[in-house]
């Protein structure tokens, strides 16, 4: 009897030991969770992937507003076109919105702007006949509306032509994958992000003019970004949000007539983005006088303060105004700036 009791006791002890070992093994084998790595865009410095680069030509006239998808762009270039009007080249990588527009035709200045980004997907609504061979020879995936279906380049029935074409950017990027088109992922195009070492001038507003267009840049302490106006009206996206920039770049450059023109006889200007020049970096409510340098088509643009230090950009949307005219600034005294606690 005692032997059976002893045997039962031994069995119970063994069972408890095995159970404890199994529980300990489960605890040891349980995977240790690691913090998720956050990726930041090399183009805008904001949180997001460094995916394939899409460049889209967007109408920039009064009838084209409100524009679609620009709040998701990493970088937006303002270019002068025929008649002194402006047009936009919007660069997307960290976020690809579903819709972008209104879409308009390509210009010669686009080729030089895009070349620093590597091989990009180029979306536009057409071009002057003489420009097509130049686009074909450029380092781009040529994905203009003339070669794509109307399910990708759609027509918005609420808009009037020629301001009604809207790109389904999500479908275009899907087609790039399906067809195996080669498009490079985002890479640095010269600027970096961080604090500025040089001294800036506090401003409340800047005005940039072209012969037939005007942009205003107004600093918002509440939103911590520059809010944009176009021809003295708030520059609103179709979502109702006012377009803006964490860093607004005014790049003083040469704008000269090219060999291209529109069907009405207007001469297409060429805005040079390769070379050297002066300009201004607007960030954090201040203007930094700077020089810019871009040695060749394939490299990016660097910005240097008057003291020789590199001017870093603030993370967020970047707008670059290519102009040959000095801007007007509204200065504010340092004592007029709200304190950080307000």
Cβ(76)–Cβ(262) under 8 Å? no
Helices and strands counted in the chain (H then E): 4, 21
- Give the pLDDT band (50/70/90) at residue 21: very low
Residue 333 pLDDT more than 90?
no
Annotated domain spans of the chain: 40-342
Q: How far apart are CA 139 and CA 122, in angstroms?
A: 10
pLDDT tens for each residue of 269-287: 999 999 999 999 999 999 9
Cis-peptide into 342, omega within 30 deg: no
pTM of the model: 0.87
* Predicted local distance difference test score (pLDDT) of residue 335: 55
Which of 21-25, 53-57, 239-243 is predicted with the least confidence, judged by mean pLDDT? 21-25
Q: Write the burial class of residue 325 (CB in 10 Å: 0-12 exposed, 13-18 middle, 19+ buried).
A: middle
* Strand order, beta sheet including 153-155: 99-100, 165-168, 153-155
82, 150 contact by CB (below 8 A): no
Distance in angstroms (rounded) separating the CA atoms of residues 113 and 79: 10
Identify whether the C-beta of residue 225 lies closer than 8 Å to the C-beta of residue 235.
no
Q: What is the mean pLDDT of the chain?
A: 89
Q: Please tell me the distance from the alpha carbon of residue 70 to that of residue 166, in angstroms, as a whole number.
A: 12
Domain formed by 40-342, architecture: 3-Layer(bba) Sandwich (3.50)
Residue 31, both tokens = 């995977």
Give the contacts of 16 (CB within 8 A, at least 6 positions apart).
none
């Amino acid at each position: 009897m005692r032997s059976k009791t002893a045997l039962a006791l031994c069995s119970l002890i063994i069972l408890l030991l095995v159970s404890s070992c199994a529980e300990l093994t489960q605890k040891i084998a349980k995977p240790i969770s690691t913090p998720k790595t956050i990726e930041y865009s090399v183009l805008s410095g904001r949180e997001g992937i460094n995916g394939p680069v899409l460049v889209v030509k967007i109408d920039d006239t009064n009838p084209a507003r409100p524009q679609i998808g620009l709040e998701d762009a990493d970088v937006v270039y303002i270019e002068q076109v025929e008649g002194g009007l402006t047009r936009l080249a919007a660069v997307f990588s960290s976020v690809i919105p579903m819709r972008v527009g209104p879409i308009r035709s390509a210009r010669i200045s686009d080729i030089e702007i895009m070349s620093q980004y590597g091989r990009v997907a180029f979306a536009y609504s057409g071009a002057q006949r003489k420009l097509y061979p130049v686009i074909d020879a450029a380092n781009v995936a040529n994905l203009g509306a003339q070669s794509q279906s109307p399910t990708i380049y759609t027509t918005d029935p609420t808009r009037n032509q020629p301001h009604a074409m809207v790109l389904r950017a999500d479908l275009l990027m899907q087609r790039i994958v399906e067809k195996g088109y080669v498009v490079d992922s985002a890479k640095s195009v010269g600027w970096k992000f961080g604090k500025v070492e040089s001294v800036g001038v506090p401003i409340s507003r800047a005005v940039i003019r072209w012969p037939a267009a005007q942009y205003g840049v107004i600093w918002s302490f509440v939103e911590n970004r520059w809010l944009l106006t176009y021809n003295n009206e708030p520059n609103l996206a179709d979502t109702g949000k006012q377009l803006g920039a964490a860093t607004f770049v005014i790049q003083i450059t040469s704008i000269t007539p090219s060999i291209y023109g529109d069907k009405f006889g207007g001469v297409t200007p060429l805005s040079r983005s390769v070379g050297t020049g002066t300009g201004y970096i607007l960030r954090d409510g201040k203007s930094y006088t700077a020089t810019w340098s871009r040695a060749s088509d394939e490299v990016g643009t660097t910005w240097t303060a008057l003291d020789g230090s590199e001017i870093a950009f603030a993370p967020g949307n970047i707008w670059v105004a290519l102009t040959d005219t000095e801007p007007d600034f509204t200065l504010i005294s340092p004592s007029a700036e709200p304190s950080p606690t307000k």
